[in-house]
Amino acid sequence: MAEFRQHKFTLDESEMPTRWYNLVPDLPSPPPPALHPGTLQPAGPEDFAPLFPMDLILQEVSQERYIEIPGPVLDVYRQWRPSPLFRAHRLEEALGTTARIYYKYEGVSPAGSHKPNTAVPQAYYNKLAGVKKLTTETGAGQWGTALAFACSLFDLECEIWQVGSSYDSKPYRRLMMEVFGGIVHRSPSELTEAGRRLGADPANWTGSLGIAISEAVEVAATNPDVRYALGSVLNHVLMHQTIIGEEAILQMAKAGDTPTHIVGCTGGGSNFAGLTFPFLREKLAGNISPKFIAAEPASCPSLTHGVYAYDFGDTAGMTPLMKMHTLGHDFIPDPIHAGGLRYHGMAPLVSHIYELGMIEAQAIPQTECFEAAVLFARTEGIVPAPEPTHALAVAIREARKATETGEETVILTALCGHGHFDLAAYDDYLNGRMTDEVTSEERFAAALATIPPVPVG
């Protein structure tokens, strides 16, 4: 009989954390504020009021270290939370590594990713504020699914602009949103001024998150009962995700281990922030000293190839200006399989701590990601979503390094979703049709040139 080794570190429902963590008050310097695009003055609550309910705006600018999770939100979370933390014994064996590898798995949620952690409170606060409908964009379809699910629980309508390339390649994601009651449009659409204008250019026909955001924002901004919900990037979204890291801290303690490397993929930064921020708090307090690594796609490398500048969150230029790592709001990444990572910018908070040197980043080509994903599936039995395969690829790089250097290494990675709706990507990989597109320097330069000039200081 094989020796007993623990694979799964679980928590009881009663052990689930009941507060979200806000990193901002613990930072050595505050992140630069969002700016009103007309006046270039710091954007105030009233600038966000057409888009978000006041409870969320207050969370966006909060200086409180902890925010209590409302009872009705906890009640929904308990359906799938606390989520499991696994030790990847069989992956370690396959790699022949001396590193210990753990993963925190968010694919157990109703949408199959971490996104419901913020979709549920966003729907809840909008319902409290009397909102009738939420609009949003979706890239891979994960966020749209999560928001449609959350809206169905709180009896809100939900209208979703799905990035064209994803709409065309993932009919089952669209259907899942529709099962939850969502209304889904292919973006760019004919339904909005932004969609008609941007959709006139054939270069935009595959769509992008930036374009889909413009469409959803336009509808919310022009209808009084309608608000907009964003699945990543903003401070309050990152904060809602910190339940992941708070649970992981308790679970690593149960495992009796301390991570030396914490890895997450970054599209807009929310699952990465959700796992890492509570550990960052512990590092700032001097309790632990892990390295934090953001894993991004080589074809949309906002941290490693973008600039740190004020830019729009969307392509049409309707949002407040945010200081972030950006490739330029006009940048249309190649239609790679990790649709959730095809965003031109990075969360201002993640960008800020990257500038402060508190985290590192690596850009990974997609074939290396799928090689990691297939090895992971064949050893751990979970088919990862294309996005977290970037984090798995980095985890494997670090595990190999540990074996070479002999340095004691404990890797914790965010497995933020399953890939059950992404099997077409695996089909391409397994049948030799997946390539690593190289984005030309000219294309990067052209998009960077569209970043609006903002006087510094």
Residue with smaller CB distance to ligand PLP, 17 or 345: 345
Q: What is the CA radius of gyration of the chain?
A: 20
Could you identify the residue written with the tokens 């200006």? Answer: 321
Q: How many residues bind ligand PLP (CB under 6 A)?
A: 22
Only one of the segments 82-90, 263-271, 310-318, 321-329 lies at the binding site for ligand PLP (rule: CB under 6 A); that segment is 263-271
Calpha distance 353→308 (Å, rounded): 12
Q: How far apart are CA 45 and CA 234, in angstroms?
A: 14
Check binding of 297 to ligand PLP (CB under 6 A): no
271 binds ligand PLP (CB under 6 A): yes
Sequence-distant (6+) residues with CB within 8 A of 374 are: 426, 429, 430
Closest separation in Å from C-beta 18 to ligand PLP:
23
In the complex, what is the shortest distance from the CB of residue 416 to ligand PLP, in angstroms, rounded to a whole number?
A: 4
DSSP collapsed to 3 states, 7-61: CEECCCHHHCCCEEECCHHHCCCCCCCCECCCCCCECCHHHHCCCCCHHHHHHHC
Nearer to ligand PLP by C-beta: 324 or 402?
A: 324
Torsion sign across C-alpha atoms 402, 437, 184, 210: positive
Query: Which position among 59, 83, 113, 251 is part of the footprint of ligand PLP (CB under 6 A)?
Result: 113
The verdict on 340 binding ligand PLP (CB under 6 A) reads yes
Closest CA to 328 of 296, 353, 300: 300
Least distance CB 441 / ligand PLP (angstroms): 25
Question: Binding residue for ligand PLP (CB under 6 A) from 21, 105, 143, 279?
Answer: 143
For position 270 contacting ligand PLP by CB under 6 A, the verdict is: yes
Q: What is the distance between the alpha carbons of residues 211 and 200, in angstroms, rounded to a whole number?
A: 12
Choices 126-134, 197-205, 260-268, 311-319; region in contact with ligand PLP by CB under 6 A: 260-268
Residues forming beta bridges with residue 309, ordered by sequence position: 324
**Cα separation, 185 vs 182, whole angstroms:** 10
Q: Does 301 bind ligand PLP (CB under 6 A)?
A: no
State yes or no: residue 388 binds ligand PLP (CB under 6 A). yes
Closest separation in Å from C-beta 421 to ligand PLP: 10
Q: Which is nearer to ligand PLP, 231 or 278 (CB)?
A: 231
**Out of 82, 188, 210, 267, the residue judged to bind ligand PLP by CB under 6 A:** 267
- Pairing, β 8-9 against β 85-87: antiparallel
Residue position matching structure tokens 């960008």: 351
Least CB distance to ligand PLP at residue 40 (A)? 27
Which of 53, 188, 259, 269 lies at the binding interface for ligand PLP (CB under 6 A)? 269
Report the residue number, 94 or 374, with the smaller CB distance to ligand PLP: 374
Separation of alpha carbons 351 and 110, rounded Å: 30
Per-residue burial over 351-373, b if 16 or more Cβ lie within 10 Å, else e, is bbbbbeebbebbbbbbebbbbbb
Residues belonging to the chain: 457
Shortest reach from residue 115's CB to ligand PLP, in Å: 5
Range in contact with ligand PLP (rule: CB under 6 A) among 12-20, 211-219, 282-290, 380-388: 380-388
Residue ranges in contact with ligand PLP by CB under 6 A:
113, 115, 140, 142-143, 231-232, 265-272, 340-341, 385, 387-388, 416-417
